[in-house]
Structure 1
């Protein structure tokens, strides 16, 4: 993910918890629990991404098909 200033952002578990908690004014423990549940469902998973310095960083990714199958999102137009 690239930010506004083209700096690459690595969505790690802890950075995601802090960002979501801050943005939505929700307790970090609640966000951590919800994120863990999404991971157990297979909607969110960890993978490795290479930083500019060459080191590997464990980041979160979304399985959009599982997100849709679980009813969290929809990609179809509703009439």
Structure 2
């Protein structure tokens, strides 16, 4: 359980709307991590940009990226 409550939809900063709408389209909901990052929208935007550029650069094979995501999910107890 998060120590801070997630930011409700109505209070998510305008600069994060693109991130929120992309998550809603992809996952069908806004992820808890985005709701937490809404407390620091500049951090959320920077993290999203870094993730996007890593994916575009093709420095990491897609198979390795998927394996890393699965491993990280297992470490943090997420049912990925």
User: TM-score, with normalisation over the residues of structure 1?
Assistant: 0.33
Instruction: Considering fraction of residues, name the structure with more helix.
Output: 2
Instruction: Considering fraction of residues, name the structure with more strand.
Output: 1
Which protein has the larger Cα radius of gyration, Structure 1 or Structure 2? 1
User: TM-score, with normalisation over the residues of structure 2?
Assistant: 0.32
